[in-house]
Amino acid sequence: MERAFFTIKNNLSKAQVIREEDEALKRKIELLRSYLPEDYRVKESELLILEKVDRIKTLFPSGRLTVTEFLPEGDTVSIGFALQGSIEDYRDFVNKINLLEGPELPLLVIDKLLINAQPDGNNSFQINGRIKTVKMG
């Protein structure tokens, strides 16, 4: 009888640990979901990437943007890009880059960033990078 009681107590203790781990996992999943756009499951991965390209064009309207073909890599898909333009306000430029590099999907990955600062204030930049996300479907 004592052994049965010990087994029950031990199993209840394990059940509590499992419940706590389950709750922690649920919180982590919710955090990850918060990084996804609301319509993430509805749209194709390529469309989400192209929307990010449009966001780049909106933030840097005078910049020259070129993109590569879509590149599937395992369970992700990406597109390469190169962006060139002028910097009129350095703080504004940095803020725009921070917006693009946020934690939400699709991710913008900067591989190379060059800034050409001139004494006359005619500053320019060049960014090479990738936009990548998880394949849907």
Helix (H, G, I), strand (E, B) or coil at 59: helix
Mean confidence (pLDDT) of the chain: 84
| pTM summary value | 0.68
> What is the distance between the alpha carbons of residues 31 and 25, in angstroms, rounded to a whole number?
10
pLDDT at 10: 65
Structural domain of 113: 45-134
pLDDT at 91: 93
For the chain, what is the domain count?
Answer: 2
Examine residue 60 and state whether it is found in any structural domain, yes or no.
yes
Do 53 and 118 lie in one domain? The reply is yes
Q: What is the pLDDT of residues 77-127, one digit of tens each?
A: 999 999 999 999 999 999 999 989 888 889 999 999 999 989 998 999 999
Do 11 and 61 lie in one domain? The reply is no
pLDDT at 42: 46
Label residues 59-71 b or e (16+ Cβ within 10 Å = b): bbeebeeebeeee
